[in-house]
Amino acid sequence: MNSSILRKISALTTAVLVSAGVALVSAPSAQAAQSDMVLYFDRSYREVIDLGKTGDSHGDITITHGNLSSTPGGKKVGTYATSQITAVMTIPGGPQSRKIDMSMTLDKGMIYTTALMSANGGTPPTKPVAYAIIGGTGKYMGVAGQVTLNPISDTGYKATLRFVR
């Protein structure tokens, strides 16, 4: 190959690699400092709406809500609500997948999340569940990120929110 063509290919390759590196460094998710928030959930209400066959079945809806605080058992700083649809189930009472939409209402706005989690029928989660933050209102308008919900009791959870924008 002609040395002039090789130099041009080499220069073009270098430019592409440098551009890719700059794009990675300046990407919002790569450079934004994570802003963490920790909230504690205290569930005060849970109801299962049995829409299909009697007992656990596809399409059943579970509604929950409760208070949010900054410390376990602390002063109320907001509320939360979930709606959960049983999406996949192998046997009644056995493992099932639930599509969950959750909203958190705080003083300066709302945060909206969604997740798909697995648990045994009729039981709350016993392992951490990761929710995608899909938006918000007020102070939280345009946010994205992840909420990790860790069970700490039968009705209590610790939520760690990580915002990427």
Q: Which residues share a beta bridge with 161?
A: 37, 147
Q: How far is CA 6 from CA 2, 3, 36, in A?
A: 6, 5, 49
| Residue 33: pLDDT band with limits 50, 70, 90 | very low
Global confidence as pTM: 0.75
pLDDT digits 0-9 by tens, 99-143: 999 999 999 999 999 999 988 877 778 899 999 999 999 999 999
Give Cα 42 distance to the centre of its chain: 18
The whole-number average pLDDT for the span 64-77 is: 97
pLDDT bucket at 4, cuts 50 / 70 / 90 = low
Mean pLDDT score of the chain: 82
CB contact burial 141-164 (16+ within 10 A = b; e otherwise): eebebbbebebeeeebbebebebb
Place of tokens 């009791």: 153
Would the pLDDT of 95 be above 70?
yes
What is the chain's Cα-based Rg? 22
Q: Which two tokens stand for residue 144?
A: 């994205």
What is the residue extent of each domain of the chain?
A: 1-31, 32-163
Query: Could you tell me which CATH class the domain 32-163 is placed in?
Result: mainly beta
Mean pLDDT of 70-97: 90
**Would you state the pLDDT for residue 151?**
95
Q: Copy the structure tokens of residue 68.
A: 């949010």
Task: State yes or no: pLDDT of 58 exceeds 60.
Answer: yes
In the chain, beta strands by DSSP E: 35-49, 61-69, 76-89, 95-106, 109-120, 129-136, 145-151, 156-163
pLDDT for the residue numbered 27 = 42
Residue pair 64/48 in contact (Cβ under 8 Å)? The answer is: no
Pull the structure tokens for residue 108: 């300066």
- pLDDT on residue 131: 98
- pLDDT surpassing 50 at residue 19: no
Lowest pLDDT segment from 17-21, 37-41, 61-65, 89-93: 17-21
